[in-house]
Amino acid sequence: MYFPYFRGRQYELLALKELAQGELLSKSVIPVVEPIKLSSTFTTTIKVFNEKSLQLALILNPAVGELSGDSSVAPLFDAVSSYIVPAVILGKETSETLHQLDSKGILKSRAVAVLTNRDYLDTYKTLWADVPPKFTLFPDDRQLRRTVTQNKVLFEDKFNKQEKNADYRKQEDEFFSEDHLYFREERYVGFGDYSIIGNEYVEGGFAPYAVAIHIVYFDADDNLRIRHFTSDSNEDISDVAGKFQEAVIKLARWYSDGQRRQLTAALNTLLSHAKNGYYPGLPTIKKLSIMHHLELMGRYLDGGMEK
């Protein structure tokens, strides 16, 4: 199983909602969402996942955004259902979060634990001494591997984030992951990452000098690689639509040159934008790149990838 982790930004939630609505999200893909605020998009995304009988792991103790350390997280607990799985980040307040779960009659064995800081390993061992979490997401750390022995999910940031979009031109094509090839033989039940966004959380944005489109793809050996299609006219922040066209035309050329097995609904939309000269906006570009990644990974896990 694949566990992509998102911070609940608008375009991330829209990506998940549209994948679910379009029946493009495999049941082998369980998104993990750390909500940064309670928005109408968040509410409708939760609703769609319930309606489509798709699992989504919802972080109940967010560490970033408006809900970080906030007492207004009660609606998050109310959202837990047969398909909305409770999830917690291991930290100082984890025991209180599990106590609130217990007060609502939700077993802690249903929870997904996110253990990225080994300083909270003892907390993990104490809270789940009698029964393990449904899944535990943790990085490839020797001490963590020794302690977490059941329902293990290998969880690491695979996106090599650059300081500026123009910097992706230095290495346009690079290795992304091979966890999908080896997680079972390494005795994990799944693997996870931060998709094409990365772990870093930054609020707000700014007008870019360059536009970059990040597309993951499977090579001939089924390694997952990522290609960065970047604009050329990057001297100033003018004509972002023109910059997008420069980048997406490169994507269309790459796709036509023997990459048809990578086709997804989202990639098809980007190819249409290249053909029609349409600029959808920067958030939508990120949304489509996420949708492509998740649909492609689900197809692989379900055995539907062509050679």
Q: Tens of pLDDT along 214-235? A: 999 999 999 999 999 999 999 8
Strand 32-33 versus strand 56-59 pairing type: parallel
Q: Does residue 150 sit in the same domain as residue 171? A: no
One domain, residues 14 and 99: yes
- Is 25 a member of any domain? yes
pTM: 0.96
Please tell me the distance from the alpha carbon of residue 111 to that of residue 175, in angstroms, as a whole number: 32
Confidence at residue 66, expressed as pLDDT on a 0 to 100 scale? 86
Q: In terms of domains, do 171 and 269 share one?
A: yes
Going edge to edge, which strands form the sheet with 173-177? 173-177, 224-230, 212-218
Positive or negative torsion for Cα 45, 20, 22, 179: positive
Domain boundary among 155, 185, 217: 155
CB 118 within 8 A of CB 125: no
pLDDT value at residue 307: 66
User: Which CB contacts under 8 angstroms, 24+ apart, belong to 17-21?
Assistant: 17/41, 17/44, 17/45, 17/48, 18/287, 18/291, 19/291, 19/294, 19/295, 20/45, 20/48, 20/49, 20/52, 20/54, 21/48, 21/52
In a domain, 256, yes or no: yes
Judge if 133 and 15 occupy the same domain: yes
Residue 288 domain-assigned (yes or no) = yes
Answer yes or no: is 182 within a domain. no
Low-confidence residues in the chain, pLDDT < 70: 70-71, 204-205, 307
> Given this model, what pLDDT does residue 261 score?
94
The residue type of 143 is Q
> Which helix (H) or strand (E) is 20 found in, with range?
helix 10-21
Tokens representing residue 35 in the block = 């909500």
List CB contacts of 158: < 8 A, sequence separation 6 or more: 176, 177, 193, 194
Q: Quick one: 26 exposed, middle or buried, by C-beta within 10 A (0-12, 13-18, 19+)?
A: buried
Q: Which H or E element spans position 59? A: strand 56-59
Indicate whether 269 and 144 sit together in one domain. no
Shared-domain flag, residues 167 and 150:
no
Q: Do both 129 and 171 map to the same domain?
A: no
Same domain (yes/no): 31, 67: yes
Closest to 6 in 3D by CA, of 56, 49, 69: 56
Q: Does one domain contain both 217 and 270?
A: yes
User: Are residue 106 and residue 223 in the same domain, yes or no?
Assistant: no
Cα gap 268→104, rounded to integer Å = 44
Q: How far apart are CA 184 and CA 265, in angstroms?
A: 28
Domain that holds residue 56: 1-155
Q: What is the pLDDT of residue 201?
A: 86
Q: Do the Cβ atoms of 92 and 114 come closer than 8 Å?
A: no
218 is a domain residue:
yes
Angle subtended at Cα 156 by Cα 216 and Cα 158, rounded to the nearest 5 degrees: 30
Tokens representing 217? 């793809």
* Amino acid 205: pLDDT: 67
Residue 306 lies in a domain: no
Q: Terminal CA-to-CA distance of the chain, rounded, Å?
A: 21
Residues 168 and 124 in one domain: no
Count of domains observed in the chain:
2
Instruction: Judge whether 106 lies within some domain.
Output: yes
**Whole-angstrom distance, CA of residue 108 vs CA of residue 87:** 9
Q: Which of 20, 291, 35 is nearest to 280 (CA)?
A: 291
Q: Let me know whether 115 and 170 are in one domain.
A: no
- Contact present, 150 and 128 (Cβ < 8 Å): no
* Residue 202 lies inside a defined structural domain of this protein: no
